[in-house]
Amino acid sequence: MFGLDDNNPSVPSELILGPDALEDVLFHELFHAYVRFQNVPLSLNMEIEAWVAQFRYGEAKFGRQYVDGGSFHTAMYKSRRGTRVRNIANLMNAQGGPFLSTPSYKFEDAFNEAVEEFRTRPPYSNAQRYPLNTAQRGIDNFKYIAELSTGC
């Protein structure tokens, strides 16, 4: 779980993980830390990017068993939220950018579907805590994935 400083909510204060946290969950939280230390404010855009990054990491590291293996993560990725995350990840190449044949509107549509789904459940239903940066469009919501995927 990624903590925030109550006196300055744009500054991360701590990273806390339970003893049963899996490697991909640690990756998700460290991804948050990387993005937040770029002075990026907390947003729903950033949260969706972290979920997509986690999925890409888990699938690259563990292959199909990550999705089909019968774990908690399998159940999550077969959920509506997981389907939205997977739909975005499937539009990306290894460097975190779009496949050349992917029209930009497909990223926009996939991202908007993810926003709708994330907004249905806490904590992401809290638009005050997780505001949506509407200035970011489509693939622009995944620039930190692309930055960290350089050379892959």
Helices (H), 16-78: 23-36, 44-62, 65-68, 72-77
Question: What per-residue confidence (pLDDT) applies to 4?
Answer: 46
Return the residue matching tokens 């692309």. 146
Question: What per-residue confidence (pLDDT) applies to 131?
Answer: 96
pTM, to two decimals: 0.83
Phi, psi of 14 (to 5 degrees): -160, 160
| Calpha distance 46→41 (Å, rounded) | 8
Question: What per-residue confidence (pLDDT) applies to 65?
Answer: 66
For CA atoms 44, 86, 28, 149, the dihedral sign is negative
Question: What per-residue confidence (pLDDT) applies to 2?
Answer: 45
Question: What per-residue confidence (pLDDT) applies to 46?
Answer: 94
Question: What per-residue confidence (pLDDT) applies to 20?
Answer: 59
Question: What per-residue confidence (pLDDT) applies to 7?
Answer: 45
Q: What secondary structure letter does DSSP report for 100?
A: T
The number of angstroms, rounded, from the C-alpha of 9 to the middle of its chain's C-alpha atoms is 20
Q: pLDDT (tens digit, 0 to 9) for every residue of the chain, 152 residues total?
A: 444 444 444 545 566 666 656 788 888 889 998 998 888 888 999 999 999 998 888 888 877 666 665 555 665 667 899 899 989 999 998 887 777 778 889 999 999 999 999 999 999 999 999 999 999 888 889 999 989 888 77
CA atoms within 13 A on the CB side of 33: 13
Question: What per-residue confidence (pLDDT) applies to 79?
Answer: 85
Question: What per-residue confidence (pLDDT) applies to 50?
Answer: 94
